[in-house]
């Protein structure tokens, strides 16, 4: 038995879908499914859910990198086997959750986790900076404008104290996407770290004929900057290719997605933009998009000090100034964005003034504003 | 495969947050190709640019998605990652696992892959990171035969659906997110595995308006739990919060002294519709004015609970900014009772989904998300497609321009007129 390369379709199984979730529920979860009464955070990183039955489920949440090895997963399994009847789950923000059915089992679990070096920081609940969700970056992606795991490690090291405590006005969601495709959508995050390109694509005329369908490359451009052109390749032959009107390029990289002969990544051109004030929850204010406040910071591996400092400055200015329950975007909207720039000390530049589609929605069409230091 | 010097990456072994570099080094002792992952990443840190080639179409027989091809552009220097394809495993609903299941997956990946994973990818899949083309078929065979697992989606298809943990461990799940997610995932296996759409299509299921899986921001089809009767109030618990017996917001603010809990300041005044007030020490809510934002419930979970007439609101068309700008999902169906029929299917939800697909597969352009199609044709057209009665709830405010696309049959006498007859009465 087993796979037979001579006969690949033999006894093939397809379309069976994922295993049913219920078999992975800890007994206390299975018993109280749909019958939970309320919850409490008994300390940062530890949740208690009370069932109508009187049962209690204690959850210890630990931060983890998104990029993890099977060795680490096996260690997580060891912890689950020892303390949690062999059950464990992951959150949507790459945290690991260990669940136990009594308070007495919490401290031994916490002690065990603490004894394993810095691999299992407990936190990420309540008014904290929870784990930073992110994309692949240089570890695996072909279109990134920055790394992901490295930047996130540097940022989370600096914000660590806010991960393991409940001292912010509200939860702060930090997210990173390593290019504008945003396969990890960061457009509704309190603080978004976004990889951006700043140089138009180069065109590999020697490769484009075999690699790309020119009409797709041309139509990929949202601003019509990519046009058909007849050019000479390095063998001196006339070939059908494309040209790029650099004045119209918005550096989105969509042409490269469609046509591998149009690379735009560049060590100096690429870097990071910071967007703030997005949220997903419908709580109080409706969901909001993140807004661009820093158009560019350079890529400075291994620890991206400019990006780390920018994120920390925004977070701490907000932490000092916002009211209880206010998310970053609610705070900025209440004080006004002119005050946001003044209080954070972030220089306001014309790059924060929208000139893309639907731009008018963001222009101020009232005489109501605040006199901040921006007005001389 | 030899070890490479990684002075830049070594800097990321410092600091209190778990280090993926330390983890990779530990894994490399058993899976030496991890040395080449580190080596190539170090080169990217030095060059400030990726060293992965563009794309590469690989897969398993019969599937059009689930595996993403990836090749190094410096394979001679790092042969261990010359091929470095991604395998997306469809995660179980809301990501509960047994250690036995995880160990099986780890053993499979030790045999056929790099040993590195993402727990999890942005769409929700359990991502196995880095294998070679010859390994794909044997891996898939053992995955389906021995592990009873399947691949998730990639490309222009239904992407792997994802849900919040809902009723498994949360008191606010207004419908069974996990069951709906699992049932639809099984129902649409063909759509997940064989791309036939204009572009990707994502389902996300959140149990309440807190929306922990970001359905409204990230999914083409967002099902968000809600209720349409009265918030349940335990007045004794309200008094408990006021007296200070219970910690507000479930203890989420415990790390800073914000002063004594003030129900007026922290609950009544922050209610977006101002539909709450106190009569003596009794909390009153005018539920007909409530927009179910969850704030009061979040702050006093022991006193307030969602109503009992539960279901979901369906919003359509969210996406990240590429290309025309970011979109949140547009509220399309205000309330649907999310219930399973006797045959084990969610027929009413399926009907809504397939109305969208039938239309979008016909009119959607190549690489156009459904939200962009709706933007292009307009919400009125989409509401007609969905056979939904237009409601004031569909808009934030009425339009401020008068350019209505009147249909001929809506106008008395139609569009056809005789210019000669017109001129007899109205000279040029």
pLDDT value, residue A182 = 84
**Strands A56-62, A67-69: parallel, antiparallel or unpaired by DSSP?**
unpaired
Closest CB to A8 among B70, B137, B295:
B137
Please judge whether A21 and B326 are an interchain contact, meaning their C-beta atoms are less than 8 angstroms apart. Answer: no
pLDDT value, residue A363 = 78
Helix axes B20-28, A149-158, angle to 10 degrees: 130
Report in angstroms the alpha-carbon separations of B32 from A19, B21, B46, B79, B115: 31, 14, 22, 11, 10
Phi, psi of B183 (to 5 degrees): -60, -45
Report in angstroms the alpha-carbon separations of B85 from A271, B113, B290: 26, 9, 49
Closest chain A C-alpha to B408 CA, distance in angstroms:
30
* Angle formed at CA A110 by CA A108 and CA A115, multiple of 5 degrees: 95
Please judge whether A94 and B320 are an interchain contact, meaning their C-beta atoms are less than 8 angstroms apart. Answer: no
Tell me the helices (H) and strands (E) count for chain A, helix number first: 11, 12
Closest chain A C-alpha to B43 CA, distance in angstroms:
10
* Angle formed at CA B185 by CA B180 and CA B186, multiple of 5 degrees: 105
pLDDT greater than 70 at residue B144: yes
Please judge whether B144 and A14 are an interchain contact, meaning their C-beta atoms are less than 8 angstroms apart. Answer: yes
Whole-number percent of chain B with pLDDT over 90: 96
Please judge whether B142 and A2 are an interchain contact, meaning their C-beta atoms are less than 8 angstroms apart. Answer: yes
pLDDT value, residue A368 = 83
Question: How sure is the predictor about B108, in pLDDT bands with cuts at 50, 70 and 90?
Answer: very high
User: Tokens 């020490």 correspond to what residue?
Assistant: B281
Q: How far apart are CA A182 and CA A191, in angstroms?
A: 14
Chain A hits for B217, Cβ within 8 Å = 185, 187-188, 278, 280, 287
pLDDT in tens, B305-318: 999 999 999 999 99
Report in angstroms the alpha-carbon separations of B149 from A16, A283, B142, B152: 7, 37, 9, 10
DSSP state of A183: S
Helix (H, G, I), strand (E, B) or coil at B408: helix
pLDDT value, residue A366 = 79
- Contacts (Cβ under 8 Å, ≥6 apart) of A297: A271, A272, A273, A274, A304, A306, A307, A310
Token pair in block for residue B138: 């044997």
pLDDT greater than 70 at residue A196: yes
State whether residue A189 sits within 8 Å of chain B by CB. no
pLDDT greater than 70 at residue A92: yes
| Mean pLDDT, rounded, for A210-236 | 95
pLDDT value, residue A362 = 78
User: Domain boundaries in chain B?
Assistant: 7-145, 162-227+310-394, 232-305
pLDDT greater than 90 at residue A369: no
User: Tokens 């997610």 correspond to what residue?
Assistant: B181
Token pair in block for residue B371: 């939200």
Contact between A314 and A276 under an 8 Å Cβ cutoff? The reply is yes
pLDDT in tens, B241-255: 999 999 999 999 999
Instruction: State the CB neighbour count (10 A cutoff) for residue B28.
Output: 23
| Mean pLDDT, rounded, for B211-227 | 96
The residue among A101, A171, A283, A307 with the most chain B CBs within 10 A of its CB, best to mutate, is A283
Contact between B44 and A138 under an 8 Å Cβ cutoff? The reply is yes
Q: How far apart are CA A227 and CA A213, in angstroms?
A: 13
pLDDT value, residue B81 = 96
The residue among A68, A100, A208, A216 with the most chain B CBs within 10 A of its CB, best to mutate, is A68
What's the CATH fold of domain B162-227+310-394? Sulfite Reductase Hemoprotein; domain 1 (3.30.413)
Q: How far apart are CA B150 and CA A234, in angstroms?
A: 47
pLDDT greater than 90 at residue A367: no
Contact between A322 and A333 under an 8 Å Cβ cutoff? The reply is no
Phi, psi of A296 (to 5 degrees): -160, 135
pLDDT value, residue B85 = 97
Token pair in block for residue B87: 């395998």
Q: How far apart are CA A242 and CA A337, in angstroms?
A: 41
Number of residues written out for chain A: 376
Question: How sure is the predictor about B259, in pLDDT bands with cuts at 50, 70 and 90?
Answer: very high
pLDDT value, residue A375 = 86
| Mean pLDDT, rounded, for A169-189 | 92
Report in angstroms the alpha-carbon separations of A248 from A219, A229, A242, A364, B23: 14, 17, 15, 25, 44
Contact between B81 and B130 under an 8 Å Cβ cutoff? The reply is yes
pLDDT greater than 90 at residue A221: yes
Contact between A91 and A44 under an 8 Å Cβ cutoff? The reply is no
Closest chain B C-alpha to A226 CA, distance in angstroms:
15
User: Tokens 């990171």 correspond to what residue?
Assistant: B129
Q: How far apart are CA A178 and CA A101, in angstroms?
A: 40
Contact between B12 and A302 under an 8 Å Cβ cutoff? The reply is yes
ipTM of the complex: 0.96
Token pair in block for residue A111: 């002690």
Instruction: State the CB neighbour count (10 A cutoff) for residue B117.
Output: 26
Contact between A71 and B114 under an 8 Å Cβ cutoff? The reply is no
Contact between A15 and B150 under an 8 Å Cβ cutoff? The reply is yes
pLDDT value, residue A361 = 79
DSSP state of B128: E
Closest chain B C-alpha to A108 CA, distance in angstroms:
19
pLDDT value, residue B27 = 97
Please judge whether B116 and A120 are an interchain contact, meaning their C-beta atoms are less than 8 angstroms apart. Answer: no
Q: How far apart are CA B422 and CA B408, in angstroms?
A: 19
Residue of A nearest to B367 (CA): A220
pLDDT value, residue B55 = 76
The residue among A2, A3, A15, A203 with the most chain B CBs within 10 A of its CB, best to mutate, is A15
More confident residue, A30 or A361: A30
Residue of B nearest to A68 (CA): B117
What is the rounded average pLDDT for all residues in chain B? Answer: 96
pLDDT value, residue A94 = 96
Predicted structure pTM score: 0.96
pLDDT in tens, A142-151: 999 999 999 9
pLDDT value, residue A356 = 85
Please judge whether B210 and A281 are an interchain contact, meaning their C-beta atoms are less than 8 angstroms apart. Answer: yes
pLDDT value, residue A336 = 97
Question: How sure is the predictor about A314, in pLDDT bands with cuts at 50, 70 and 90?
Answer: very high
pLDDT greater than 80 at residue A63: yes
Instruction: Give which of A269, A308, A274, A314 is closest to A294, Cα–Cα.
Output: A274
DSSP state of A345: T
Helices (H), B300-368: 347-363
Q: How far apart are CA B147 and CA B137, in angstroms?
A: 14
Which DSSP string do the residues of B157-171 spell out, in sequence order?
SBPPPEE--GGGT-T
Token pair in block for residue A94: 């790459």
- Contacts (Cβ under 8 Å, ≥6 apart) of B85: B56, B58, B67, B68, B69, B70, B130, B131, B132, B133, B136
Q: How far apart are CA B172 and CA A282, in angstroms?
A: 14
| Mean pLDDT, rounded, for B4-20 | 98
Number of CB pairs < 8 Å for A and B?
A: 400
Report in angstroms the alpha-carbon separations of A263 from A202, A230, B99, B386: 6, 19, 43, 41
| Mean pLDDT, rounded, for B220-233 | 97
Token pair in block for residue B242: 């006021």
The CATH number of the structural domain formed by B232-305 is 3.30.70.20
Q: How far apart are CA A174 and CA A1, in angstroms?
A: 48
| C-alpha dihedral sign at B185, B187, B193, B199 | negative
**Strands A174-177, A191-196: parallel, antiparallel or unpaired by DSSP?**
parallel
Closest CB to B50 among A72, A142, A156:
A142
pLDDT greater than 70 at residue B122: yes
Contact between A258 and A221 under an 8 Å Cβ cutoff? The reply is no
Instruction: State the CB neighbour count (10 A cutoff) for residue A292.
Output: 18
Residue of A nearest to B15 (CA): A157
Residue of A nearest to B98 (CA): A87
Q: How far apart are CA B316 and CA A183, in angstroms?
A: 19
Closest CB to A24 among B97, B162, B324:
B97
Q: Which CATH class is domain B7-145?
A: alpha beta
pLDDT greater than 70 at residue A1: no
Closest chain A C-alpha to B320 CA, distance in angstroms:
6
Domains B162-227+310-394 and B232-305 alike in fold: no
pLDDT value, residue B251 = 96
Distance of CA B311 to the CA centre of its chain: 18
Torsion (CA) A77, A78, A82, A83 in degrees, nearest 10: -50
Closest CB to A24 among B47, B101, B319:
B101
Contact between A64 and A96 under an 8 Å Cβ cutoff? The reply is yes
pLDDT in tens, B35-78: 999 999 999 999 999 999 997 789 999 999 999 999 999 999 99
Chain A hits for B130, Cβ within 8 Å = 140
Closest chain A C-alpha to B280 CA, distance in angstroms:
25
H-helix or E-strand containing B265?
helix B263-266
């Amino acid at each position: 038995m087993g796979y037979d390369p001579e006969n690949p379709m033999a006894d093939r199984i397809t379309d069976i879908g994922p295993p049913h979730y219920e078999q992975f529920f800890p007994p206390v979860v299975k018993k109280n499914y749909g019958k939970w009464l309320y919850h409490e955070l008994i300390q940062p990183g530890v949740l208690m859910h009370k069932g109508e039955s009187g049962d209690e489920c204690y959850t210890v949440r630990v931060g983890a990198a998104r990029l993890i090895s099977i060795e680490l997963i096996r260690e997580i399994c060891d912890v689950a086997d020892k303390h949690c009847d062999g059950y464990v789950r992951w959150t949507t923000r790459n945290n690991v959750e260990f669940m136990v059915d009594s308070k007495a089992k919490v401290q031994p679990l916490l002690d065990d986790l603490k004894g394993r070096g810095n691999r299992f920081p407990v936190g990420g609940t309540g008014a904290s900076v929870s784990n930073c969700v992110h994309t692949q970056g240089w570890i695996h992606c072909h279109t990134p404008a920055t790394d992901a795991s490295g930047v996130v490690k540097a940022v989370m090291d600096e914000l660590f104290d806010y991960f393991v405590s409940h001292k912010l006005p509200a939860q702060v969601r930090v997210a990173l996407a390593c290019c504008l495709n945003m396969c990890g959508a960061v457009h509704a995050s309190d603080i978004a770290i976004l990889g951006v390109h700043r140089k138009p694509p180069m065109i590999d005329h020697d490769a484009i004929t075999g690699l790309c369908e020119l009409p797709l490359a041309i139509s990929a451009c949202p601003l019509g900057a990519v046009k058909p052109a007849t050019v000479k390749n390095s063998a001196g032959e006339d070939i059908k290719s494309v040209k790029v009107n650099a004045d119209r390029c918005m550096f989105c990289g969509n042409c490269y997605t469609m046509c591998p002969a149009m690379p735009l990544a560049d060590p100096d051109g690429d870097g990071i933009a910071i967007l703030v004030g997005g949220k997903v929850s419908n709580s109080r204010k409706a969901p909001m998009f993140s807004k661009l406040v820093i158009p560019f910071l350079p890529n400075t591996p291994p620890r991206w000090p400019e990006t780390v400092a920018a994120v920390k400055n925004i977070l701490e200015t907000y932490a000092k100034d916002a009211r209880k329950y206010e998310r970053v975007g609610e705070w900025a909207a209440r004080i006004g964005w002119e005050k946001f720039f003044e209080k954070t000390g972030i220089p306001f530049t014309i790059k924060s003034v929208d000139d893309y589609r639907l731009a008018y929605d963001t222009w101020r069409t009232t005489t109501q504003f605040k006199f901040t230091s921006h007005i001389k | 495969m030899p070890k490479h010097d990684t002075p830049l990456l070594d800097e990321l072994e410092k600091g209190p947050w778990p280090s993926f570099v330390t983890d990779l080094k530990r894994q490399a002792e058993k899976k030496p190709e991890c040395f080449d992952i580190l080596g190539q990443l170090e080169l990217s840190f030095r060059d400030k640019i990726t060293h992965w080639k563009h794309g590469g179409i690989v897969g398993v027989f019969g599937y059009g998605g689930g595996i993403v091809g990836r090749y190094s552009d410096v394979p001679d220097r790092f042969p261990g990652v010359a091929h470095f394809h991604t395998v997306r495993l469809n995660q179980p609903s809301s990501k509960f696992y047994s250690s036995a299941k995880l160990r099986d997956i780890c053993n499979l990946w030790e045999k056929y892959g790099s040993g590195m994973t993402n727990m999890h990818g942005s769409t929700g899949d359990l991502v196995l990171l880095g294998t070679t083309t010859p390994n794909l078929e044997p891996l898939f065979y053992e995955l389906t035969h021995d592990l009873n697992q399947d691949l998730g989606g990639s490309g222009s298809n239904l992407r792997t659906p994802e849900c919040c943990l809902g009723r498994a461990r949360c008191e606010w799940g207004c419908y069974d997110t996990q069951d709906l997610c699992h049932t639809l995932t099984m129902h649409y296996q063909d759509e997940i595995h064989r791309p036939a759409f204009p572009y990707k299509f994502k389902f996300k299921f959140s149990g309440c308006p807190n929306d922990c899986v970001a359905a409204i921001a990230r999914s083409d089809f967002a099902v968000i739990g809600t209720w349409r009767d009265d918030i349940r109030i335990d007045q004794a618990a309200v008094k408990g919060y006021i007296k200070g017996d219970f910690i507000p917001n479930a203890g989420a603010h415990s790390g800073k002294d914000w002063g004594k809990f003030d129900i007026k300041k922290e609950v009544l005044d922050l209610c977006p519709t101002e539909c709450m007030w106190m009569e003596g020490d009794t909390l009153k809510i005018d539920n007909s004015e409530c927009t179910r934002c969850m704030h009061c419930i979040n702050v006093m979970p022991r006193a307030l609970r969602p109503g009992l007439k539960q279901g979901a609101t369906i919003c359509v068309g969210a996406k990240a900014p590429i290309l025309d700008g970011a979109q949140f999902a547009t509220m399309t169906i205000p309330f649907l009772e999310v219930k399973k029929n006797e045959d084990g299917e969610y027929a009413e939800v399926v009907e809504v989904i397939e109305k969208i697909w039938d239309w979008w597969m016909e009119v959607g352009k190549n690489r156009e998300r459904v939200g962009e199609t709706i933007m292009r044709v307009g919400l009125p057209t989409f509401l007609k497609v969905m056979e939904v009665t237009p409601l004031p709830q569909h808009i934030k405010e009425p339009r401020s321009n008068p350019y209505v696309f009147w249909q001929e049959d809506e106008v008395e006498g139609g569009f056809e007129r005789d210019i000669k007859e017109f001129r007899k009465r109205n000279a040029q």
